[in-house]
Amino acid sequence: MEKTADNSMLPRLRVILAASIGSALEWYDFFLYGTAAALVFGDLFFPKSDPLIGTLLSFLTFGVGFVVRPLGGILFGIMGDRFGRKPVLVATLLMIGIGTTAIGFLPTYAEVGYWAPLLLVTMRVVQGLGAGAEYGGAVIFLVENAPSGHRGFWGGFAPMGVSIGNLLAAAAFALVGMLPREDLMSWGWRLPFLASFLLIIVGIYVRLRVAETPVFTEAVLARGKVERNPAMQALRRHPRNFLVVLGARMAENGLGYFFPVFGLSYVITTLGVPKSEALSALMLAFVIELFAILGFAALSDRIGRRPVYMFGALTGIAFAYPFFWMVATREWIWIAAAFIIARAVVTAAMFGPQAAYFAELFPPQRRFAGFAFARELGSILAGGPAPFVATALVAWSGNWWPVACYAALLSAITAVAIWCGPETYRENITIDNSSDGALHPAVAMPLQA
């Protein structure tokens, strides 16, 4: 994007902080559910089932959040393109925060019977609606404020925030996991969910102190380019890019949940590795991934989004089988190495450049809706079903090789999508090259509180 009139570092740091911290706090909430689904929800909310069926059911409720995410992406994406990026980011933060905090107060199956899983699913729906637009909004906020030639690097702070959320969720359960089993199952599991209330307050405070993006203010509002239904316009006018986003999500999103959610459950439940060892290995992978995401994002500013993304997809194909060979050793060092390669190489190489790439695929007046709708529609096909499908495949076959085939298939689909997609890292994101005319380059505005 164009350089801002205000070159001081403080406004730029506020933008990065608002997007990355807010994203981290929201995704702490969202991934917290996935960790709880793998470790405790099967016993708490589906106790009449055997352990395997209980895990399957808890992962099924995990997938419910993904089903409603495209709806959240459409609704909040339209609002983001019509009323601005900032108010939507505040609204989505509140939705996930309320949904997650409420989970900490829910009664269990032993207390209210079938009302317990019903209430759990309801809160999951609230989380999913907010998450449907949160990440897209954070990415667009960063990319539309980024200096020229650095959109990939700036955009990388949003997925880095997701990894921080992963890390916080795993760390929270690692801490409460140190409690005696009876205490953990009676009240300890609630603490990470209740703690999210304080985290959300911090996120709201930060996001209220940043201004609207200069691209939206000038290229959309000032030019009168606000559209009634930008989501449908994005689908109708940019079908190729829409499909590229769907395909690109298969490996990034599917493996992004496959390794930390199903992988964690598989290592603990099937292989019998102690929870503390499995969680510590996964947390180490998340820490390394933080730096890897920014590294791959910055690399995409130099050589393009597609080569970096393609590397991650092809590595996903190659690593699908070795992952299981490594964790099957039941040795901490090999389990940690498996999670590190899965997260800091395979996922990070796709997740890093993805932020700027998806934002660059749509013009400013339909960027939020197009980005969020296409990205979250891909979540239904990839991330949501991944833990459930992987667990079901293990139950069906009694082995891990069908799961490896599933992971390789997701990666192959993404590789094809990236191959068919356009390169965008040198595109001007303030103009619309579609058939309805072009926008003049946005007059950059200073970033301010």
Q: 387 pLDDT exceeds 70?
A: no
Candidates 105, 94, 157, 84; CA nearest to 127 is: 94
- Does 79 reside within a domain? yes
Candidates 245, 30, 252; CA nearest to 130 is: 30
What percent of the chain lies above the pLDDT cut of 70? Answer: 87
In the DSSP assignment, the letter for residue 150 is: -
The pair of structure tokens assigned to 435 is 């058939």
- Does 321 reside within a domain? yes
Confidence bin at 222 (pLDDT 50/70/90): low
Q: What pLDDT is stored for residue 409 in this prediction?
A: 92
pTM above 0.95, yes or no: no
Flag the least confident range among 205-219, 232-246, 353-367. 205-219
- Does 425 reside within a domain? no
Task: From residue 322, give the alpha-carbon distance in Å to each of 60, 166, 272, 401.
Answer: 27, 23, 19, 11
**Mean pLDDT value across the chain:** 82
Q: Regarding predicted confidence, which is higher, 420 or 430?
A: 420
Q: 445 pLDDT exceeds 70?
A: no
CATH number for the domain spanning 92: value is 1.20.1250.20
List, for residues 196-217, the tens digit of each pLDDT value: 888 788 888 888 888 888 888 8
C-alpha neighbours within 13 Å on the C-beta side of residue 443: 4
| Mean pLDDT for the stretch of residues 265-276 | 86
Q: How many separate domains does the chain show?
A: 1
Flag the least confident range among 127-141, 300-314, 404-418. 127-141
Instruction: Tell me the residue range of the domain where 42 lies.
Output: 9-420
Task: From residue 108, give the alpha-carbon distance in Å to each of 58, 104, 181, 196, 343.
Answer: 13, 10, 16, 20, 33
Candidates 303, 35, 261; CA nearest to 295 is: 303
In this structure, are residues 390 and 406 in contact, taking their beta carbons and an 8 Å threshold?
Answer: yes
- Does 432 reside within a domain? no
The C-alpha angle with vertex 122 and arms to 120 and 127, in degrees rounded to 5, equals 95
- Does 427 reside within a domain? no
- Does 1 reside within a domain? no
| Mean pLDDT for the stretch of residues 279-283 | 88
Q: What pLDDT is stored for residue 2 in this prediction?
A: 43
Confidence bin at 358 (pLDDT 50/70/90): very high
| Mean pLDDT for the stretch of residues 435-442 | 40
List, for residues 141-184, the tens digit of each pLDDT value: 999 988 888 999 999 998 888 778 877 887 888 888 788 888 88
Q: What pLDDT is stored for residue 444 in this prediction?
A: 34
| Residues 131, 137, 140, 145, CA torsion sign | negative
| Mean pLDDT for the stretch of residues 206-230 | 78
Highest mean pLDDT among 91-100, 124-133, 221-230, 353-362: 353-362
Q: Regarding predicted confidence, which is higher, 332 or 61?
A: 332
In this structure, are residues 372 and 244 in contact, taking their beta carbons and an 8 Å threshold?
Answer: no
Confidence bin at 56 (pLDDT 50/70/90): low
Confidence bin at 439 (pLDDT 50/70/90): very low
3-state secondary structure at position 189: coil
DSSP for 323-336 reads HHHHHTT--HHHHH
